[in-house]
């Protein structure tokens, strides 16, 4: 279980468009890394659009944003295109990154149990340590999908 103050686990993957990604390449910058359950679902759309609508704040503060989910490159690209998302979606088809961050867990819907990503955001500082967590079991507070960008902006005290 990752807690505030822990070193953020490094990983490599690709973006929805096939570009290579390594978390360690962003050392020296704050990073907004959010895990979402599934492309093209209402809660995930609300969260992504909240971030999209405030993206200029993150960009203006030199904070890269990355969404992580288990969809295919095609589903990620569709989700990104439909919602005009200006940030990369990272590939995690086998949930390797979600497991590394301990956000791939047993969930319940309509009385049935299944494995899936628990909506969780990790705010990583310039030294690569986890500065804040929203959602999951260690979070400061739950992710409010429609207001998530505001939660992060407030936490970091970013200039608008």
* pLDDT of amino acid 99: 97
- Contact by Cβ (8 Å): 159, 60: yes
Residue 4 lies in a domain: no
44 is catalytic: yes
Residue 6 lies in a domain: no
Query: For the chain, what's the residue count?
Result: 160
Residue 101 lies in a domain: yes
What residues in the chain have per-residue pLDDT under 70?
none
Residue 7 lies in a domain: no
**Domain span including residue 71:** 12-156
* pLDDT of amino acid 159: 82
* pLDDT of amino acid 110: 87
Residue 65 lies in a domain: yes
pTM for the full predicted model? 0.95
* pLDDT of amino acid 89: 98
* pLDDT of amino acid 139: 73
CATH number assigned to the domain comprising residue 136: 3.40.30.10
For the chain, how many structural domains are there in total? 1
Residue 57 lies in a domain: yes
Kindly report, residue by residue over 51-64, the tens digit of the pLDDT: 999 999 999 999 99
Residue 5 lies in a domain: no
Residue 3 lies in a domain: no
Distances (CA, A) of 63 to 28, 73, 87, 137, 152: 10, 24, 11, 25, 11
Residue of 44, 65, 90, 143 marked active site: 44
* pLDDT of amino acid 141: 85
Distances (CA, A) of 19 to 73, 77, 83: 11, 13, 20
């Amino acid at each position: 279980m990752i807690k505030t103050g822990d070193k953020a686990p490094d990983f490599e993957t690709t973006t929805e468009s096939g570009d290579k990604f390594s978390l360690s390449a962003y050392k020296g910058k704050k990073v907004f890394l959010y895990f979402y359950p599934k492309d093209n679902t209402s809660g995930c759309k609300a969260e992504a659009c909240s971030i999209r609508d405030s993206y200029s704040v993150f960009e203006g503060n030199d904070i890269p944003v990355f969404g992580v989910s288990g969809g295919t490159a095609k589903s990620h690209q569709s989700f990104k295109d439909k919602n005009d998302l200006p940030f990369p979606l990272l590939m995690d088809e086998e949930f390797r990154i979600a497991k590394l961050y301990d956000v791939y867990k047993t969930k319940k819907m309509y009385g049935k149990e299944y494995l899936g990503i628990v909506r969780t955001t990790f705010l990583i500082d310039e030294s690569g340590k986890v500065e804040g967590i929203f959602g999951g079991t260690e979070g400061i507070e739950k992710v409010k999908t429609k207001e998530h960008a505001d939660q992060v902006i407030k936490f970091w005290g970013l200039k608008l």
